[in-house]
Amino acid sequence: MNRSTSIKNDEETASNGQMFSQNGKDPGGKLQKGGGKKVELGKKVTLLRGISIIVGTIIGAGIFISPKGILKHSGSVGMSLTVWIACGVLSLFGALCYAELGTCIKKSGGHYTYIMEAFGPQMAFIRLWADLIAIRPAALAVISLAFGRYILEPLFMPCTIPPMAVKLATAIGITSVVYLNSMSVTWAARIQILLTISKLAAITTIIVPGMFQLFKGETKNFENAFDLSKVQLSGMPLAFYSGMYAYAGWFYLNFVTEEVDNPEKTVPLAICISMAIVTSCYVLTNVAYYTVMSAEELLASEAVAVTFAERLLGNFSVVVPVFVALSCFGSMNGGHFALSRMFYVASREGQLPEVLSMIHVRRHTPLAAVLILYPMTILQLFVGDIYSLLNFMSFLRWLFIGVVVLGLIYLRYTKPDLPRPFKVPLFIPVVFCLTCFFMVFLSLYSDPFNTGIGFAMSLTGIPAYYIFIYFTRPRWLQKALDSFNRTMQIILEVVPADQ
């Protein structure tokens, strides 16, 4: 890299407000960037890979296993399909808001970066803290447990799978995802594409026979589809809550914005195409279910896709658990790929240890940032009550997403001259923001104890911010951190990224 390019990059870094003050040197003096080759995260996320990240992360185990939550709370077949469509539209609204943020704030990090830009470092750190100590390890552990359970199902069928076998298979799955993301960005992205194709193939095996049944005249379960006798208005918010949870994941491409090729065009296009694919798949899959099962039968089923396959596909139904496992693995891989970039950016901003913003000298992956969630996830897998923890924290997801979209509205007025290659009409962020805060209010109203505990846990980020970030660190603590950074840099063979 020549001198003029270096000066230009330094000026751009300063103008962007990125806190690289300690990352511009090798603190240990042990590792150098060899051969004059730039050590950085390359722009390897193309449109196809961006779509695979979003689709592959959104479509997890839910649509295959148990979509009955929406049916239960909506009260009828017609209303449940309406909720699926409405949740897809609302999720598209949120995704379009993130597309605007991703094209005007071209930094990785997702929620964390946007809250930092709009509301400052303290609010961003609280979000980071909640993610790090509980939300992300628990969420990864839960989807991984689904992977472990369903990958073993064909081997133990029809017997019950031993719980320890599930946990061991889950631990192997988590380890393989971490290893893959540590070794190569390119291979992680390629495998994500293959996994996305496999889960779309799995959905196709449900949709095509279901549509065939529909065209044959199997419509008796759609008679009186909008019978309102069982519909209760008090249940509709819970149905929307379940639906929005099923669509969650549309924001993951924003976590890797700096690695997206031509983000001004790729981010909005990938988001729009992905949401169209997911919404179509979800609605058509539910229609297919109803061609074979009545509303009562669907509510009685523990694994809707398995029941559907047993009735319509015969012996082929044995492959459904494998498809579910692959779908879960795709969600694990896409989520971990994106989340590691949030910790990478937080370290770059000075809110996590410096080593997390360093790149492996040969593989060009953020190795330390990839590894940070692994110990906590394995710990929660074997000893933690992760389902209760998810109940504590589920409302925080929508609280902070609402805060991010509120930040978009705030930036419209505080920074009107900020370049916005992609801009959504104002009513879209307003409607989505109100929806998020309504779901937060619903959580507080319906389960004040658990949500209160989750809120209290997130508030522990305030004293942590002042102890570790705001106040000047004691000399002994700073020396310990410097020693930790140097040691980990040598062990992991990572160096500060070129800027």
Which tens digit of pLDDT belongs to each residue from 431-488? Answer: 999 999 988 887 777 778 777 887 888 889 999 999 888 887 788 888 888 898 889 8
Provide the 3-class DSSP secondary structure of residue 260.
strand
* Band of residue 27 on the pLDDT scale cut at 50, 70, 90: very low
Q: Residue 481 CA to chain centroid, in angstroms?
A: 30
At residue 388, the pLDDT reads 64
The residue count of the chain comes to 499
Q: Is the pLDDT of residue 2 over 70?
A: no
pLDDT attached to residue 217? 84
Residue type for position 303: A
Distance CA 95, CA 429 (A): 10
pLDDT at 28: 37
335 close to 173: Cβ distance less than 8 angstroms: no
Q: What is the pLDDT of residues 5-17, one digit of tens each?
A: 443 444 343 333 3
Rounded to 10 degrees, the C-alpha dihedral 268/271/274/276 comes to -80
pLDDT of residue 20: 33
At the fourth CATH level, which superfamily is domain 42-496?
Amino acid/polyamine transporter I (1.20.1740.10)
Question: 269-288 in b/e burial notation, b at 16+ Cβ within 10 A?
Answer: bbbebbbebbbebbbbbbbb
* Span 31-51, pLDDT tens digits: 444 445 555 566 778 888 889
pLDDT tens readout for residues 98-134 = 999 999 998 888 899 999 999 999 999 999 998 888 7
pLDDT for the residue 232:
72
Instruction: State yes or no: cis peptide before 366, omega within 30 of 0.
Output: no
**Cβ atoms within 10 Å, residue 39:** 19
User: What is the predicted pLDDT for the residue at 498?
Assistant: 63
Which residues, including other chains, have CB under 8 Å from residue 485's CB and lie 6 or more apart?
Answer: 27, 28, 353, 354, 355
Across residues 395-399, what is the average pLDDT?
83
Residues sharing a CB contact under 8 Å with residue 241, sequence separation 6 or more, in sequence order: 439, 442, 443
386-414 and 77-104 helices, crossing angle to 10°:
50
Question: Model confidence over 188-229: pLDDT tens digits?
Answer: 888 988 888 888 888 888 899 999 988 888 888 888 778 777
Find tokens 């997801």 and name the residue.
397
Please tell me the distance from the alpha carbon of residue 374 to that of residue 292, in angstroms, as a whole number.
41
Q: How confident is the model at residue 29 (pLDDT cuts 50, 70, 90)?
A: very low
Largest CA distance in the chain: 77
- Residues 154-166 have a mean pLDDT of 83
| Residues 457, 131 contacting (CB under 8 angstroms) | no
Alpha-carbon distance of 96 to 94, in angstroms, equals 5
What element of type H or E holds 360? Answer: strand 358-360
Q: How confident is the model at residue 25 (pLDDT cuts 50, 70, 90)?
A: very low
pTM for the model stands at 0.82
